């Protein structure tokens, strides 16, 4: 074989070698890309699965907070769910890992009406006197404070005036719990608040229910529910949904919410509505213990203890203040959700899903 032939053969061999090496590199790159895509997709699927586990728990129990984790064939996932302070939302943070590839997901879920994020919610101005204590920190079923995830003291569409020795406390947006004091931190109230879509016109609208739902449930008598057109026909203690539809400018001097019988005290629970079509039904001089939601056109003088939320939906208060004695209004997501159980509201919704 001549020199020219040898050079040609070597050239072809070298060229084929480079072509083979290039093809191998492309195969390796393709395999790496496929593995990366698989790992990325798997990690994402695991993260979304973890978030959905938390969503399933919230659907069964809107008060649920906690964590979830699992190891699967393709990797692992973990998630935590906490309540967002000073809001009606919960936050889910989830992650999935597959072959060291990490994917994160963050979900914000509204678990109740956005108006139920404070001890007192009001369309009109709010004034407090005496020794009334308004506490937006979150009280659990045993009346212990759940740290760092409570609500505000008061949210009003107009002004808030603290007078006398009344005290405000709550949990601000940073999750800082502040006990009730006269010289309160302004981060635990919101005045002149602009409610999305305007303030709800009726108790049903406040809770995201079809109109007539609360009245119909009260009239059904389910679970001890009661309906009346005067407060005098209401029996204590309250249970279920109690709906008092007073006449125009009607006033209910409320009896003691704690019913004493044979040496035992029985407290009131559920949802109490005091409302009429003119939106001027007034409940006053609240005494005893109530756990749940009180929704009234107008409210004057809390002398007892309300644990949950008090909401005033009317525009023109006739009384001089919400409280002027030694009463308490305390925020409790537990008793709010307990009161709402069994109602088919549309409050539970996903507000955002980031990844």
Q: Are residues 59 and 187 in the same domain?
A: no
Which pTM does this prediction carry?
0.87
Which residues, 6+ apart, have CB-to-CB distance to 186 below 8 Å?
none
Task: Examine the domain organization and report whether 99 and 136 are in the same domain.
Answer: no
Task: Read off the pLDDT of residues 246-305 as tens digits, 9 standing for 90 and up.
Answer: 999 999 999 899 998 777 889 999 999 999 999 999 999 999 999 999 999 999 999 999
Domain end marker among 111, 138, 169: 111
Residues 80 and 125 in one domain: no
Residues 223 and 164 in one domain: yes
Q: Are residues 192 and 275 in the same domain?
A: yes
- The domain total for the chain is 2
| 31, pLDDT greater than 70 | no
Residue 318 within a domain: yes
Are 332 and 204 within one domain? yes
> CA separation (Å) from 328 to 177, 209, 351?
17, 28, 33
CA separation, residue 100 to residues 42, 44, 217, 290 (Å)? 11, 12, 54, 53
pLDDT at 108: 97
Do residues 173 and 47 share a domain? no
**Tokens found for residue 333:** 């997501």
Neighbours of 291 (CB within 10 A): 24
Helix (H) or strand (E) holding 261: strand 259-261
Q: What pLDDT is recorded for position 26?
A: 54
What residues are paired with 49 via a beta bridge? none
């Amino acid at each position: 074989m001549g020199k020219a032939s040898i050079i040609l053969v070597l050239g072809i061999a070298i060229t084929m070698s480079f072509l083979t090496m290039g093809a191998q590199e492309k195969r390796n790159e393709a395999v790496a890309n496929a593995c990366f895509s698989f790992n990325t997709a798997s990690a994402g699927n695991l993260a979304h699965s973890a978030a959905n586990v938390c969503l399933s728990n919230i659907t069964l129990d809107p008060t649920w907070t906690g964590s979830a984790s699992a190891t699967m064939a393709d990797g692992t996932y973990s998630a935590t769910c906490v309540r967002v302070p000073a809001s009606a939302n919960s936050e889910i943070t989830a992650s999935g890992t597959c072959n060291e590839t990490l994917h994160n997901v963050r979900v914000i879920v509204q678990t109740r009406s956005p108006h139920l994020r404070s001890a007192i919610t009001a369309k009109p101005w709010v004034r407090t006197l005496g020794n009334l204590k308004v506490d937006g920190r979150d009280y659990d079923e045993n009346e212990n404070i759940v740290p760092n995830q409570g609500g505000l003291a008061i949210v009003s569409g107009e002004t808030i005036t603290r007078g006398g020795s009344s005290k405000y406390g709550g949990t601000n947006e940073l999750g800082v719990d502040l006990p009730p004091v006269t010289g309160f931190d302004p981060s635990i109230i919101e005045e002149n608040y602009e409610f999305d879509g305007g303030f709800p016109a009726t108790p049903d609208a406040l809770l995201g229910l079809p109109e007539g739902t609360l009245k119909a449930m009260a009239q059904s008598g389910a679970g001890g529910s009661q309906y009346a057109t005067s407060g005098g026909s209401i029996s204590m203690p309250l249970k279920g949904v109690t709906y008092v539809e007073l006449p125009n400018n009607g006033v209910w001097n409320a009896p003691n919410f704690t019913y004493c019988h044979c040496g035992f005290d029985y407290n009131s629970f559920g949802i109490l509505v005091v409302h009429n079509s003119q939106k001027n039904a007034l409940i006053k001089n609240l005494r005893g213990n109530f756990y749940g939601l009180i929704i009234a056109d107008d409210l004057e003088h809390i002398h007892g203890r309300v644990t949950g939320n008090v909401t005033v939906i009317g525009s023109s208060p006739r009384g001089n203040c919400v409280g002027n004695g030694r009463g308490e209004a305390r925020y409790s997501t537990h008793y709010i959700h307990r009161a709402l159980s069994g109602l088919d509201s549309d409050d539970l919704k996903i507000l955002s899903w980031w990844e």
